[in-house]
Amino acid sequence: MRSRTELLLLVACCGFLLFYGLGAFGMLGADEPRYAQVAREMLDRGDWITPTLNGKPWLEKPPLYYWQAMLTYRVGRALGSGNAGVSEQTARLPGAIDAAIMIAAIYFFLRRLRPGTELDAALITASCAGVIGFAHAASTDMPLAATFTIALLAWYAWYERRRQVNLAIFYLFLGFGALAKGPVAPALAGVIILLFAAAKRDWTVFFRTLWIPGIALFLAIALPWYVAVQVRNPDFFRIFILEHNLARFSTNVYHHPQPVWFYLPVFLLAAMPWMLWLIVAIIERVRAISSERREASASPDDSWPLFLILWLLVPIFFFSAAQSKLPGYILPSVPAAALLVAEYLALRRGQKAKISWPLAIAHGLLCGLLIFAALSAASVALNRHLTLGQGTYIAATIAGVFALGISGALATRFGSQLLRSTTMIAVIVSVAAVIRLAAPVIDATQSSRPVAQIIQDFSHERMPVALYHVSRVQQYGLDFYLNRPTQQYDDAQVPSEAHLLVAHPNTQPEFSALIPGRKVSYLTSVPAQKWALYWVSK
């Protein structure tokens, strides 16, 4: 009965946190619409090998996300959903499904490895801001994080139980990880296991991991696509390995420079609202590991915390050394953070330790800050900064009430038992606020969906669409929503036929000089994004 209750709770929480509001706002950034469009083109061509964008090979990423999106598109078409099965929901569904599979794996692995911590670990993982955010994104980051997490859980299960089936699962999901984002999955796993063996002073662990049947399974999963795409596209090795792996790591060729400390605040934000407990857990576990190492008579200890700390730190240090940095790169570290917090909370409960007033107040304030940020997100999206006004004061009052309530509950003698439930309430309220209040504003101000809708309302026929001084974010978004490539005046791509032009309202004299003798008619504007639409005659 307890297991059924836990599973129902887990399904309900994950169903809301991961799947609610997948289509509440349009595609954001450059990657979301680009990846979604690649999957659509592959499905339309019936090609499961070569990713293409606007009909040309797009070899930057492996195909796992594309394959998953192709399947969700196909299901959408079978169910008769709009736009031939392609939508924000079906494009983002792979990330949500991958996150749900990852959380289920955490629950069932820990149910065998660490009984009593499985529900905490699963719910804490599901409630981390990084997991919720990337579960709502059409990207390759969640597929990598999910496959990497399952692989490392299986490896540690093998380390404790020495059952070869767990090592087979490790290699199976490393293969899927290589299909999710390339060689980074086996590389990071190898470094973590190597450092773990060194810390334990047991090199046989590393060498026994190099299991020939497992390596053969990894190659059987990952290698066929790499061989097939290389045969069809001779430039694949140069583009994918040399440019989008080695050059992306060692140079700033793709213009994502960040300081070396960039991932410290990013990771702490991704671990919200468990950031404070994560810091305490790391300090306590490092102190305990160091103390045990200083004691000559110390018997072999439980290696789980050491493994989690290495799992957490290796991706952060690895990508901090890279010249090109994006927030999603360290998503594989977030599940390790959640597992470390769950392990630490279980230890505290075993010791019947109460939560101190300072810790209770600090965690309550963090939960209140999370709710305030969610309630203020609409205003920030609209004004590009936080403004003081009636809405801000109401948001601060609501957040303050939650902060006081959570702090007071945690400071009681039942605080340890109430920590998970009170924090989950704060997370659920925050997600609901973002989806219900902020999503419409985010959609109106940052997505290409409203602009594409106006273009489609203007004419149901496929007309040429051109852009002038429009960023690649908007360009990729319009390409996805219109399902055809737009043309850039900036690149001398001026359609010879009559076409619709998207540009800033005050740039008409500039782009008119590029099309002498052609009549330009103003159609309408999109004030929320400061765009105007023009009709350019033939």
| 397-398-399 Cα angle (round to 5) | 90
Residues above pLDDT 90, as percent of the chain: 66
Calculate mean pLDDT across residues 361-368: 95
Pick from 277, 418, 287: nearest CA to 340: 277
Strand 531-536 to strand 520-526: parallel, antiparallel, or no bridges (unpaired)? antiparallel
| 385-391-395 Cα angle (round to 5) | 90
> Which tens digit of pLDDT belongs to each residue from 252-296?
555 556 788 888 999 999 999 999 999 999 998 888 877 766 554
Residue with tokens 């309550």: 364
Answer whether 249's CB lies under 8 Å from 322's CB: yes
| 480-482-485 Cα angle (round to 5) | 75
> Which tens digit of pLDDT belongs to each residue from 8-59?
999 999 999 999 999 999 999 989 999 999 999 999 999 999 999 998 999 9
> Which tens digit of pLDDT belongs to each residue from 470-518?
888 899 999 999 999 999 998 888 888 999 999 998 898 888 888 888 9
pLDDT value, residue 253:
56
Helix locations, 201-274, DSSP H: 203-209, 212-232, 236, 248-250, 263-270
Domain spans in the chain, listed from the N-terminal domain onward: 2-350, 357-445, 449-536
Which amino acid, one-letter code, is at 192? I
Distance CA 182, CA 240 (A): 9
Joined together, the tokens standing for residue 291 give: 């103390």
Distance CA 238, CA 150 (A): 30
- pTM of structure: 0.93
Distance CA 304, CA 316 (A): 19
The alpha carbon of residue 214 and the mean position of all alpha carbons in its chain are separated, in whole angstroms, by: 28
> Which tens digit of pLDDT belongs to each residue from 133-162?
999 999 999 999 999 999 999 999 999 988
Q: Compute the CA torsion angle 133, 136, 138, 140 (nearest 10 deg).
A: 50
Distance CA 175, CA 333 (A): 19
- Cα–Cα distances in Å, from 221 out to 50, 64, 71, 156, 217? 17, 11, 19, 21, 6
